[in-house]
Amino acid sequence: MFACCRALAVLLLMTLPWGCAEASQPTWSQQGLTDLSYQLTPVLVDRRLKALDVHMDVAVPPSGVVKIKPPQGIGQDEPSDKVIIDTVRFGRITVTSKKWWLVRANRGQHRVQIDYRINPATGADSVGGAGYKDVLMGNDWFQALGENLFAAPMGYTDLPAKLRWQGPPDWSFVSPLENPEKAGPVTLKNLLQTTAAAGAKVQQVSRSIRGGTLTVVGVGYWALPLDKFADVAASVISAQRAFWKDTNGPYFVTVVAMNRDDDFNAGVGRDGAFAAYVAREADMSNIRKLITHEYTHMWIPTRTGRMPDGNEEPLAYWFSEGFTVFRTSHAMLQSGAWTIQDFANDFNSLSTSYDMSPARHIANRDVMAGFWRSNDVQAVPYQRGAILAWMLDARLRKQTGGQRDMHDVLLRMRDRSIENPRQDVRTNLVRSYAEEGGGPIDDWLNRFIDQGEQMVLPVDLFSGCLKMLEENKAGIGRVQSVMVEPGLSERSAEACVDRLGR
């Protein structure tokens, strides 16, 4: 998500940014519409990719008018400036003040065709933008998220949609929508929530995973060690499925080898898939952490409660991202990928960054306002949520004599969400935590999340494994960190890994 996000990974905005507006619109079925189709064609000059052409064929409602949101990157305030309308057939387009397309069909016409061109991400976005804002393109490849490819008619989210690839014979186009195991018809929502890659030299491998098959596709500026990536991904996915015990079926990953020499890595969750972006120096341990984080989003928050709608979604990122960071740490320990020292290093990065952040005291409402505009604000919900989860975990273990922990809470949240899919994540967390024996937590949520009061880690947070350290830094104040307990034996260290990774 962020140019600086070595330690962060991102959850896709699961609610379409225009969801609130769309709710007031008649659905496609109410309007008697039948289908929607797109044709995707690479524009090659001297066999080098210069742009993508999209041909869109849309049925219009009886009014003859349809409002269309042009391709727009995740977290962007307005549609992409890389998209240019080329031709409109059987109608005309007016661009609104928000840069949306207001389409009016000609008299007697029931369909409108729109041709638009998508130019590639440029400058810093092409190197470190990680595909969130615009389509990434090389000389003979591209990778795109659905939101960056497809113009979306309002009210058509669940309309069956067709996608046709029209590329040269030596190019291949791959997306999870091509998988024959996918249940049900492809809809516009599926297109917007997909990730796709295409090119003349697309790498592709598959692995067996618990309950299905994993497909990993690679493109980019250098040759990816895709077999290693796939091995790690298969291990992570199978382990997570074994923990949650509720998921089968195929899974799909696109990986882009970014044109940068640091250890950058980032990702975004999709519909039955995720997209990963890695730099040359990203090691497999960090990649395992990235994959674990992204795959955990299959449950947090997707199956543990309803997120706020539309632009208010960042109000609950402390849960969707922070608790995913927490669960990822557990999984890294449980898998044996981390030693107790690895965990201490990772936790210190989280804790000290939080304590020293200039945004550490902002209210949660300000997180919503500044999330996409400030790197410091972007990091806050990850930090706050993860630290709060560890504090809640320690408190629950203590109050239940070690019989319950946050994993029990998350599983209960999943079960409660199945019973009541409309329950919001915050209410579900409060009730599930209390039902597991942890007591009320509204006061903590109000202080540490809503108001932004800085959390103070208890000295016994990781008692017997990690020692809590504290120092006062000029101009900042209290900064907390941990160290492995002096004299901790190898056997005790292994026991700590088992306990904290349980």
Q: Give the C-alpha distances (Å, rounded to integers) separating 142 from 176, 224, 379, 445.
A: 16, 15, 29, 43
The mean pLDDT value for 404-415 works out to 97
d(CA 223, CA 48): 18
d(CA 428, CA 307): 11
16 pairs with which residues across the strands? none
Residue of 465, 11, 82 lying closest to 275 (CA atoms): 11
Is it the case that residue 22 has pLDDT exceeding 50? no
The mean pLDDT value for 244-258 works out to 94
Give phi and psi for 20, each to the nearest 5: -65, -40
The mean pLDDT value for 135-144 works out to 95
d(CA 431, CA 24): 31
100-105: Cβ within 8 A, 24+ apart: 100/67, 100/68, 100/69, 100/70, 101/67, 101/68, 101/69, 101/70, 101/151, 102/65, 102/67, 102/68, 103/58, 103/60, 103/65, 103/66, 103/67, 103/68, 104/64, 104/65, 105/60, 105/64, 105/65
Of 13-22, 71-80, 339-348, least confident by mean pLDDT is: 13-22
Is it the case that residue 2 has pLDDT exceeding 60? no
The mean pLDDT value for 204-223 works out to 95
Nearest 10 degrees: CA dihedral of 371, 372, 376, 381?
A: 30
Mean of per-residue pLDDT scores for the chain: 89
The mean pLDDT value for 282-311 works out to 92
The whole-number pLDDT of residue 132 equals 80
Burial degree of 210 (CB within 10 A; 0-12, 13-18, 19+): middle
- The tens digit of pLDDT for each residue in 453-479 reads 999 999 999 999 999 999 999 989 999
- Higher-confidence position of 124 and 235: 235
What pLDDT band is residue 76 in, cutting at 50, 70 and 90? confident
d(CA 408, CA 438): 11
Three-state SS for 314? helix
The whole-number pLDDT of residue 218 equals 97
The mean pLDDT value for 378-405 works out to 96
Cis peptide before 301 (omega within 30 of 0): yes
473 pairs with which residues across the strands? 477
Give phi and psi for 318, each to the nearest 5: -60, -30
Angle at 305 between CA 302 and CA 307, to 5 degrees: 80
Number of alpha carbons in the 13 Å side-chain half-sphere of residue 122: 8
Of 156-160, 379-383, 388-392, least confident by mean pLDDT is: 156-160
Angle at 481 between CA 480 and CA 484, to 5 degrees: 150
Contacts of 236 (CB under 8 A, 6+ apart): 288, 291, 292, 295, 331, 335
CB 180 within 8 A of CB 167: no
Residue with tokens 């990719």: 49
- The tens digit of pLDDT for each residue in 424-460 reads 999 999 999 999 999 999 999 999 999 999 999 999 9
Q: Work out whether strand 161-165 and strand 36-45 pair parallel, antiparallel, or are unpaired.
A: parallel
d(CA 75, CA 371): 9
DSSP E strands: which ranges in 131-250?
136-137, 141-145, 152-153, 161-165, 172-174, 195-199, 203-209, 212-220
Q: Work out whether strand 141-145 and strand 195-199 pair parallel, antiparallel, or are unpaired.
A: antiparallel
Percentages (nearest 5) of helix, strand, coil residues in the chain: 35, 25, 40
The mean pLDDT value for 67-95 works out to 94
Is it the case that residue 180 has pLDDT exceeding 60? no
The whole-number pLDDT of residue 157 equals 87
The whole-number pLDDT of residue 27 equals 52
Calculate what percentage of the chain has a pLDDT beyond 70: 90
What pLDDT band is residue 17 in, cutting at 50, 70 and 90? very low
333-364 b/e with 16+ CB inside 10 Å = b?
bbbebbebebbbebbbebbbbbbebebbebeb
d(CA 296, CA 385): 15
What pLDDT band is residue 179 in, cutting at 50, 70 and 90? low
Distance of CA 227 to the CA centre of its chain: 23
Structure tokens at 91: 């109608």
- The tens digit of pLDDT for each residue in 308-333 reads 988 899 999 999 999 999 999 999 99
153 pairs with which residues across the strands? 68
Residue with tokens 């630290």: 387
- The tens digit of pLDDT for each residue in 336-360 reads 999 999 999 999 999 999 999 999 9
- Taking only Cα atoms into account, the Rg of the chain, rounded to an integer number of angstroms, comes to 24
The mean pLDDT value for 77-91 works out to 95
Q: Work out whether strand 172-174 and strand 101-105 pair parallel, antiparallel, or are unpaired.
A: unpaired
The whole-number pLDDT of residue 129 equals 54
Sheet harboring 136-137: ordered strands across? 136-137, 141-145, 195-199, 172-174
Burial degree of 486 (CB within 10 A; 0-12, 13-18, 19+): exposed
Contacts of 499 (CB under 8 A, 6+ apart): 465
The whole-number pLDDT of residue 14 equals 34
